[in-house]
């Protein structure tokens, strides 16, 4: 594995992509887990499939199409969430299905043999190119800068959005910005784990980090570190065992979260029993 890292360019690209995706997941994942926006993120991710199909049909980079559809879905879901009288779940379900259906339709309208879409659906970190890395780097920088510059606003928004609104913070704008950042994160992750599996990598490191600490800054740091570990070990497994990289990364991420959750549950239950015995 180490020899391949230094010998092959595609492995170097994969390592870089793993680090970039882990950073953006660590930054955004903590917020969407805390604000319970996981299904919104899933809707944005699956809607992007329509953009992938549109890119293939009209002959431009499918990732650009995914970016356009993701941003449109984020703005649409954000608008319904603010003005739709509790119909956000309906909007998410419809856009989720619409994006997938449009992707299938666009591919069906293509002349000749249909392209292989498995990379976009399930990811293939070993196929990441220099162009992909430039785009991932740019989006990661944007996401990280927005969170860093407005760090205190995000802390207040996570703690109590209504109280933050009373203090005069633009909470509505923060929600729109957050959804747009989620859309950017989805685009970064498509080449790593794919549209179908993006939710797992977006939430598993952040959810695991939340078990260890409640501090916002530490949760982000832990989530980034865990994401890097999951991606690198998953990449190593996929390379050595010749299995799909996206699936290996996600399986490792979910398994680690479940293991950590079970250990935490057992320890918490043991502490509660001990306190109850002492009180009696």
pLDDT for the residue 280: 61
55 pLDDT band, cuts 50/70/90, is very high
Q: Could you tell me if 55 and 62 are in contact, meaning their C-beta atoms sit under 8 angstroms apart?
A: yes
Distance CA 197, CA 189 (A): 9
Residue 50: pLDDT over 70: yes
Domains of the chain: 2-279 (1.10.3470.10)
65, containing H or E segment: helix 62-83
Q: Tell me the per-residue pLDDT of 169-209, one tens digit each, with 9 for 90 and over.
A: 888 888 888 889 999 888 888 888 888 888 888 899 999 99
188, containing H or E segment: helix 171-212
Q: Tell me the per-residue pLDDT of 7-27, one tens digit each, with 9 for 90 and over.
A: 778 788 888 888 999 999 888
Distance CA 210, CA 232 (A): 21
Angle at 198 between CA 143 and CA 235, to 5 degrees: 95
pLDDT for the residue 224: 94
Angle at 146 between CA 143 and CA 148, to 5 degrees: 105
Q: How many helical (H) and strand (E) elements, i.e. helices and strands, does the chain have?
A: 12, 0
Residue 268: pLDDT over 90: no
> Sign of the C-alpha dihedral, residues 22, 137, 191, 12?
negative
> For the residues 110-137, what does the mean pLDDT come to?
84
pLDDT for the residue 211: 92
Distance CA 21, CA 136 (A): 8
- For the record, the structure tokens of 62 come out as 């499918």
- Tracing tokens 């299905």 back to the chain, one arrives at 97
Q: Tell me the per-residue pLDDT of 154-170, one tens digit each, with 9 for 90 and over.
A: 888 877 777 777 878 88
> For the residues 127-139, what does the mean pLDDT come to?
87
Residue 116: pLDDT over 70: yes
Q: Widest CA span of the chain, in angstroms?
A: 76
């Amino acid at each position: 594995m180490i020899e391949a890292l230094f010998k092959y360019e595609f492995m170097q690209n994969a390592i870089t992509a793993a680090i970039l995706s882990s950073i953006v997941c660590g930054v955004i994942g903590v917020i969407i887990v805390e604000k319970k926006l996981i299904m919104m993120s899933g809707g944005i991710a699956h809607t992007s499939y329509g953009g992938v199909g549109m890119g293939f049909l009209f002959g431009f980079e499918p990732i650009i199409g995914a970016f356009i559809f993701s941003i449109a879905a984020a703005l649409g879901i954000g608008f319904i969430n603010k003005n739709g009288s509790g119909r956000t779940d309906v909007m998410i379900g419809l856009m989720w299905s619409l994006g997938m259906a449009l992707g299938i339709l666009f591919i069906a309208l293509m002349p000749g043999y249909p392209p292989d879409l498995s990379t976009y659906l399930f990811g293939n970190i070993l196929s990441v190119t220099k162009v992909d890395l430039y785009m991932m780097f740019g989006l990661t920088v944007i996401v990280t800068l927005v969170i860093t510059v407005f760090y205190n606003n995000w802390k207040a928004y996570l703690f109590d959005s209504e109280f933050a609104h009373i203090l005069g913070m633009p909470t509505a704008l923060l929600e729109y910005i957050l959804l747009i950042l989620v859309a950017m994160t989805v685009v970064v992750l498509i080449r790593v784990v794919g549209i179908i599996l993006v939710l797992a990598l977006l939430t598993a490191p952040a959810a695991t980090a939340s078990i260890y600490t409640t501090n916002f800054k530490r949760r982000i740091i832990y989530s980034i570190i865990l994401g890097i570990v999951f991606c690198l070990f998953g990449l190593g497994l996929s390379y050595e065992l010749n299995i799909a990289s996206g699936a290996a990364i996600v399986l490792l991420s979910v398994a680690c979260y479940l293991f950590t959750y079970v250990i935490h549950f057992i320890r918490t239950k043991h502490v509660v029993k001990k306190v109850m015995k002492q009180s009696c």
